[in-house]
Amino acid sequence: MRSILDALETRYPVLRGTIRHHGTLERRAFLRFFACGRDLSHEPAEARLPDAIATGKEPLLIIGAIAGG
């Protein structure tokens, strides 16, 4: 996950700090990561992603959660 987010922020610098905190590189609270029908939001950044993501067969979805009342 970390290498994908690093590459994404390198290609699109405007995203730096919006997906992950600047200093800690932790996922922002209201963002979720989904792939292959699974919620990967709380997986460690070093965790291996499903092969379907690595090969490009499935997308990695980064979705902003909606909170409020």
Write out 4-34 in H/E/C secondary structure: HHHHHHHHCHHHCCCCECCCCCCECCCEEEE
Residue 69 placed within a domain: no
Domain that holds residue 16: 2-64
Q: What is the Cα gyration radius of the chain?
A: 12
The predicted model gives 27-37 an average pLDDT of 91
Nearest to 48 by CA among 65, 60, 64, 32: 60
As for how many domains the chain has, the answer is: 1
Q: Is the dihedral of CA 12, 4, 36, 31 positive or negative?
A: negative
- For residue 69, name the pLDDT band (cuts at 50, 70, 90): low
Residue 10 placed within a domain: yes
Residue 44 placed within a domain: yes
Residue 43 placed within a domain: yes
pLDDT at 40 over 70: yes
pLDDT tens, residue by residue, 12-30: 999 999 999 988 988 888 8
